[in-house]
Structure 1
């Protein structure tokens, strides 16, 4: 596990801690919340990048590539 030292605006800190408290927050929930938020943002930005890279593809080509990827994943799952 890696530790981060972050500077967060006080308003954001209060909002997150209040949110977690309303949800019945426990020890470690702030770290879990931050980890989940970072992972979601990485995924979101990755999707945006891929959409930009593939903006010129037509619907048929997009569906064909998706079907090919699904078939590959199914063939290689353990």
Structure 2
């Protein structure tokens, strides 16, 4: 560790005992608890920031399907409207959006 910063952590007694038992079992020495936590945090950040195959793809595909379904539903509901009604709804929506700014 280059520049150390002190953290004050709270963990359950069970977690504390399990970690200390593990460190004692592997021959842990002074400073090993800090190293263990730092390595765990780095690994967690690394895995959270790396794109995951499959997971990244699923959300956009689902979003596209949801969007396509929404467009289809809007088109079906709008079929009964006249052009004048659609234009009036559009004007009202634009006015509402501008008013909310």
**TM-score bracket for this pair, using the shorter chain length:** 0.5 to 0.7
**Which structure would you say has the larger Rg?**
2
Matching residue within 12, 23, 46 for 1:9? 12
Describe the superposition over 1:19-44 as per-residue Cα deviations: whole angstroms up to 9, x where unpaired: 00000010000000000000000011
The answer for unaligned runs of 5 or more in structure 2 is 59-101
Match of 1:42 in 2: 45
- Give the TM-score, by structure 1 length: 0.62
Q: Which has the higher contact order (CA 8 A, sep 6+)?
A: 1
What RMSD over aligned residues (CA atoms) do the two structures have, in Å?
1.3
- Give the TM-score, by structure 2 length: 0.49
Return the offset for 1:46: 1.0
The answer for unaligned runs of 5 or more in structure 1 is 57-78
